[in-house]
Structure 1
Amino acid sequence: MGKKGGNKTGSKAATAPAETASETELSPQKKFDLLKNNEKLLKVTSVDFRQVVESHVLTDKLIQKSISIESEIDPGFPKRDENSIQELTKWMVKFGAKIDGVEIKEMEDFGYGICASRDFSEGEFIISVPRKLMMTTESAMKSELDYHIRNDPMLAHMPNVILALFVLLEKFKGDSSFWAPYLNCLPPSYLTVMYYSTAELDALKGSPIYEPSLKQCQNIARQYVYLRNLFHKHTDAGSLILKKYFTYEQYRWAVSTVMTRQNFIPASSPDDPMILALIPWWDMG
């Protein structure tokens, strides 16, 4: 349902960590307008799926209105370049990663990816990434998200959402985040279905991915409204960080990041199942 990277026209590409992002707050009227619009969005995305096909045009209009209102507070997205790639590699090596004979390069028509800088023999070592550099659901549970992970029934059963929120939590911390060098190298947008226009979704009619694509867009929009309401109702540490910049565009980006980059790795405890992880550098391939 999506590729690792892509630059769709109109996406924000400026790096804007939390401490340098606009301090603008929505006016009372715009807060009210956003609340009412999101109430409609929640209603239209909570219908029986048989009605989703008929209502996806309205869903998209409501999403676009939320995006428009939230544009005043949206902090933007990373703008990765050669310098940010170099900083990522330095950070990786500093904290124990081993990288041999490969490099991250920008390739025409394909974006950034891992390229060999020499010939390899079969079975030869290429790269190892220490667990402490990975963003995992385990590390999320040790973060400011802990309160919601323990108390919210949806998050308790959706590790992919936990990881997406962890990405946003650390992104909104800006350069103070341990994972800032990694987050600054992520694409500013993706080619997942959440970025498709109504016309692009309609072009999928008749294909086996049409209905799953609509359902996915419906689910992400509904989750966005639910989570935004959740953070604005609480004053725990995680909510205080997330509520200020949590927008539809930010959530769509974080979900797409996880969708296109997630890996399963063994949990720290042998009694636990596999866990979701984002593996810096490795997931550039």
Structure 2
Amino acid sequence: MGKKGGNKSSKGATAPAESASEPELSPQKKFDLLKNNEKLLKVTSVEFRQVVECHVQTDKLIQKSISIESEINPGFPKRDENSIQELTKWMLKFGAKIDGVEIKEMEDFGYGICATRDFAEGEFIISVPRKLMMTTESAMKSELDYHIRNDPMLAHMPNVILALFVLLEKFKGDSSFWAPYLNCLPPSYLTVMYYTTAELDALKGSPVYEPSLKQCQNIARQYVYLRNLFHKHTDAGSLILKKYFTYEQYR
């Protein structure tokens, strides 16, 4: 479950200062969320063969957590032409090379890379230097360092490390080096994590039905585990993450 972080700060970093205007759950809602998440952890820890039986209950508990946390959920960036322009400027400033393409919103498809001219086969289009990429290596140099070194789940799940690194930097706001990139991320994705119970049930009879339920179960269980982890520690990463770490943000 990881060792307690005490008052250590990773890499000398400090969490953002408290603000009286920042939203906080009332003691009663904190208690309700704690009890609801205890049930959620229990129901998502069942054996795989029981996932189908438990997914309706799991969804109800998740929706309750989302409802309670709506008061502290910081929301998501809204992608627009300005944020796209800032992303492009940021990339070029730090060594990216872009030739003959642009990020553009396309009807029925959302934002994507669009060619502005014809290309010959094998011609250079775009390159991104490694220092602009959010990687497990850069995460290990961040305030997540303490948990990466001490938590057994993070030690074996680089995908979770990257998810937390994105949230860590997002919660820093404009002070994050990656802010121009994070401000362009979509608020939701076309994955089973955003399916309603009825939409998941429509997958019955297909080979993706049970794996989809299992995915939803795993993310819900990770959310509860990580929320508890951050609220037990006082290292720099936990101080940043626990304030706004919600199910919706982690999903």
Q: What is the TM-score when the length of structure 1 is the normalising length? A: 0.81
Q: Report deviation, 1:42.
A: 0.2
Q: What is the TM-score when the length of structure 2 is the normalising length? A: 0.92
Relative to structure 2, which stretch is displaced further, 188-197 or 140-149? 188-197
Does the C-alpha gap of structure 1 residues 7 and 181 become closer, same or farther in structure 2, counting only changes over 3 Å? farther
Q: Which has the higher helix share?
A: 2
For the residues of structure 1 that align with 2:26 and 2:83, how far apart are their CA atoms?
Answer: 35
Displaced runs of 4 or more, over 3 A: 1-9, 11-22
Q: Report deviation, 1:7.
A: 40
For the residues of structure 2 that align with 1:95 and 1:79, how far apart are their CA atoms?
Answer: 24
The 8 Å contact of residues 3 and 192 in structure 1, kept in 2 or not, is answered as no
For the residues of structure 2 that align with 1:124 and 1:3, how far apart are their CA atoms?
Answer: 51
Structure 2 residue runs of 5 or longer lacking an equivalent are none
SS in 2 for 1:47: coil
SS in 1 for 2:72: coil
The 8 Å contact of residues 70 and 247 in structure 1, kept in 2 or not, is answered as yes
Q: Report deviation, 1:250.
A: 0.2
**2:98 alignment partner in structure 1:** 99
Deviations 1:67-97 (A, max 9, x none): 0000000000010000000000000000000
For the residues of structure 2 that align with 1:107 and 1:153, how far apart are their CA atoms?
Answer: 43
Q: Report deviation, 1:153.
A: 0.3
Does the C-alpha gap of structure 1 residues 174 and 95 become closer, same or farther in structure 2, counting only changes over 3 Å? same
> Considering only CA atoms, is the larger Rg found in Structure 1 or Structure 2?
2
Deviations 1:201-249 (A, max 9, x none): 0000001100000000000000000000000000000000000000000
Structure 1 residue runs of 5 or longer lacking an equivalent are 252-285
Q: Structure with the greater relative contact order (CA < 8 A, sep ≥ 6): 1 or 2?
A: 2
User: What value does the CA root-mean-square deviation take over the aligned residues?
Assistant: 8.1
For the residues of structure 2 that align with 1:18 and 1:75, how far apart are their CA atoms?
Answer: 16
Does the C-alpha gap of structure 1 residues 241 and 4 become closer, same or farther in structure 2, counting only changes over 3 Å? closer
Q: Report deviation, 1:121.
A: 0.5
The 8 Å contact of residues 77 and 185 in structure 2, kept in 1 or not, is answered as yes
The 8 Å contact of residues 15 and 237 in structure 2, kept in 1 or not, is answered as no
Deviations 1:89-116 (A, max 9, x none): 0000000000000001101110000010
The 8 Å contact of residues 168 and 240 in structure 2, kept in 1 or not, is answered as yes
